[in-house]
Amino acid sequence: MDKHIVVIGAGIAGLSAASYLARNGYRVTVVEKHSLPGGLCTSWKRGGYTIDYCIHWLMGSREGTQFYSMWQELGAFTNADGSPVGIANFDQFTTIGLSNGDSLCLSSDLEQLKESLLALAPEDAKQIGKFHRSLKRLAGAFSGNPFASLVQFFTMLGHLIPVEEYAKRFTNPRLREIFLSTLPPDWSLVALTLGLSQQPYKSAGYPIGGSLNFAMNIARKASSLGVTFRYNSAVEKVLVSDGKAVGVQLSDGQIVDADYVISAADGHTTLYSMLSGRYLSPAYTKAYEQYPLFPSSLMVALGIKKNLQQFVHSSSPYFEEPIVLCDGTSHNSFGLNVYAFDPTLAPEGCTLVTAMINTWEWEAWEKLASDNRQEYEEEKKRIAGEIIKRLEPLLGPLEGLIDMVDVSTPHSVIRYTGNWKGSFEGFAPTKATLSKRLPKTLDGLSRFAMIGQWTVPGGGLPTAAKDGRDIAKMICKQDGKRFSGKG
C-alpha cells in the first residue's frame, strides 16, 4: 500500500509538497487550521471588494523563466473555469517619495531607470553605472540557473551587501535616501534588486485575481490528484513513537495516522509546541534567538467609488506629518497599492486601495486586542482616518467615495496564521541569513520534515513552492522512486 503522508498547513509550501507527492503515488492528507488554503497568500472579501494581502510581484510569471514551469505544474495559472490567469506587468516598479517633497520612479525599463538616477545624482555616475550593470546581470540569472546557485550569484554581484553599507557608496544624499527608505538598513540589497531586475523581462508580474485565487488554483489541482484536505483542523502535536513521526493529534483530540509527517506550518509552533521543544538543533536555537525577522504589518484597505487607473499602482509617498501607532512607532511613509489594474477586486467603476505600514512591535497590538477590545477597534478607526487624510492630496477628495474600510493589524496576522511574532515572511533577508539553509529534518526524529519560509531565510512564494517540490523529490529518492513533476 502507498505510504500515507500528512502535511501540516495548506500554505504554498504545504500545497506544493502535497501536490508533488500525490502525483508520485503517495496518499496525502493536508490538515489546515483554517477553512481555506493559502496561509499568508490570501485575500478576503469586504463589502463587494476583494482585499489582496500578499502578492505584489511574482517570480516566474512569464513562460520560459525559471519558476514558470513549476507554477504551471502546480496549476497556479489556471482558473476554476479553465481560463488562464492574466498577468499584469507595469511600466514602473514603484515610486519612492523623498523627504524634500520630490519623488523618483524606479522604472521597469532599466535604461530609463539609469537615466533617472543620473539626472538625480550625476556626481554618482560611476556607481550608478555599476548598479545598472549588476541589475542586468541579475536579470539574466533566471533564464536557466538552478535556484541553489542564486546565493552564490548574489554574492558574486555584491547584492548580499546590507543596504545601509551599499548606500554609503553614493555621495548624493537623495540617492542614499532612496535605498535607505526602501529597506531596513541591515537587509540585503537583493530584497530590492531581485524584483526590480525582472521587470524588463516581464517575469515578475501580478496574477490577476489576487493571492487567494492563486492559492485556490494550486489547491484545486492538488485535489484533482487525489490529495485529501481537512480544513478547520488545527494540529496540537506531532505524534512520535520510537523516534519516528507516526501522525498528528488535532486540537479536538482526533488522531491522523501517517507514515511520514511534513510540517509546512509556522516554524516556532512546530518546534516548540507540536514537538514540545524536544528536537531543537543548535541551528534552529540560534535562528530563533538571534535571526532578525520580517516585520508584521498594519494594512488599511479602502474601497473607493472611483476609477483610479490614472494613478501609479505602487508607491511609498513621504509625509511630513508622521503617523504614530499605538505601538509607539512613528511612520512618515507607507506602501500604497492602487489595484485599478485588477477588475476582479472591486465592483465596476470602483478601485481597491491598500496602505501598508510595517512594524516589529507586535506585542503592543496583541496586548491592546486582549486587554481592551473597544480601544483596539477605535485605534483601527483612527489609523484608517489618518491614512485617508494623507491620501486625499494624492488621489483627490474622497468624501462620499469610500464605501469600504477594513484594517488588518499584527494581531490579525497572528490570529489568522499563527505566524511567530506576526512576521509575514519568516526570517529577514540579511547578508547573514540569506547564506543559511536551515535543516529540513531533525536529529533524533525520522519520518519527519519541515519546509517553508521558516526553513529558508528570505521567504517568498517561489521559495516555498520549490521547498515543497524538493521535499517530495527527497522522499521519492529515499523510497527508491523516480520523481516526476508531471501529473
Residue 244 domain-assigned (yes or no): yes
Which of 377, 399, 420 lies at the terminal end of a domain, its last residue?
Answer: 420
Q: Based on the domain organization, do 145 and 229 belong to the same domain? A: no
The predicted structure's pLDDT at residue 55: 96
The residue whose grid cell reads 522522499 is: 475
The predicted structure's pLDDT at residue 145: 44
Q: Are 387 and 323 in contact, with CB atoms under 8 Å apart?
A: yes
Q: Based on the domain organization, do 152 and 195 belong to the same domain? A: yes
Which of 182, 201, 220 lies at the terminal end of a domain, its last residue?
Answer: 201
Which of 158, 183, 201 lies at the terminal end of a domain, its last residue?
Answer: 201
Domain that holds residue 404: 296-420
The predicted structure's pLDDT at residue 154: 53
The predicted structure's pLDDT at residue 146: 38
Q: Based on the domain organization, do 112 and 194 belong to the same domain? A: yes
**Domain CATH number, residue 57:** 3.50.50.60
Question: Which residues make Cβ contacts (< 8 Å) with residue 261, sequence separation at least 6?
Answer: 5, 6, 8, 238, 245, 246, 247, 248, 447, 448, 449
- Residue 476 in 3-state DSSP? helix
Residue 360 domain-assigned (yes or no): yes
The predicted structure's pLDDT at residue 139: 79
CA distance 458 to 434: 6
Residue 138 domain-assigned (yes or no): yes
Q: Based on the domain organization, do 148 and 190 belong to the same domain? A: yes
CA distance 263 to 448: 8
Residue 483 domain-assigned (yes or no): no
Helix axes of 125-140 and 150-157: crossing angle, nearest 10 degrees: 160
pLDDT tens readout for residues 247-275 = 999 999 999 999 999 999 999 999 999 99
Q: Based on the domain organization, do 316 and 412 belong to the same domain? A: yes
pTM: 0.95
CA–CA distance from 352 to each of 23, 190, 370, 383 (Å)? 38, 29, 30, 18
Residue 487 domain-assigned (yes or no): no
Q: Based on the domain organization, do 338 and 413 belong to the same domain? A: yes
Q: Based on the domain organization, do 119 and 250 belong to the same domain? A: no
Q: What is the DSSP string of 182-246?
A: HS-TTBBTHHHHHHHHHGGGT-S-EETTHHHHHHHHHHHHHHHTT-EEE-S--EEEEEEETTEEE
What DSSP character marks residue 398? Answer: -
Cell of 181: 527608505
The predicted structure's pLDDT at residue 150: 53
Residue 66 domain-assigned (yes or no): yes
Q: Based on the domain organization, do 333 and 268 belong to the same domain? A: no
What DSSP character marks residue 260? Answer: E
Q: Based on the domain organization, do 55 and 159 belong to the same domain? A: no
Q: Based on the domain organization, do 282 and 178 belong to the same domain? A: no
pLDDT along the chain (487 residues), means of 10: 91 98 98 96 97 95 90 98 97 95 95 97 97 87 49 58 95 96 92 91 95 98 98 98 98 98 98 97 95 96 97 96 96 97 97 97 97 97 98 95 98 94 94 88 97 92 96 97 92
The predicted structure's pLDDT at residue 147: 44
Helix axes of 110-120 and 173-182: crossing angle, nearest 10 degrees: 130
